[in-house]
Amino acid sequence: MPSDGSRSYPHLGPLQRSMGIELEMMGDGRCAVYVEVTDAHLNKGGVAHGGLHATLLDTAMGGATVAALSKEEWCATAQLDISYIEAARVGTRLNCEARVLRRGRGIAHVEGEISDQEGSVIAKARGTWGIWPSRPSHLKK
| Predicted confidence (pLDDT) per residue in 27-77, tens digit | 999 999 999 999 999 999 999 999 999 999 999 999 999 999 998 999 999
Count of C-beta atoms within a 10 Å radius of residue 113: 18
Q: Where are the domains of the chain?
A: 14-134
With 0.85 as the threshold, say if the pTM is over it.
yes
The helix or strand, by DSSP H or E, that contains position 77, with its residue range, turns out to be strand 74-84
What's the pLDDT band for 135 if we cut at 50, 70, 90? confident
> At a CB cut-off of 8 Å and minimum separation 6, what does 104 contact?
131
Q: Measured on CA atoms in the order 123, 11, 28, 131, is the torsion positive or negative? A: positive
Task: For the domain made up of 14-134, give the CATH fold.
Answer: Thiol Ester Dehydrase; Chain A (3.10.129)
**Which one-letter DSSP state was computed for residue 106?**
S
Residue 60 · residue 33 · CB < 8 Å:
yes
- 87-96: per-residue pLDDT in tens? 999 999 999 9
Question: In the predicted model, is pLDDT for residue 4 greater than 60?
Answer: no
| Beta carbons of 108 and 131 less than 8 angstroms apart | yes
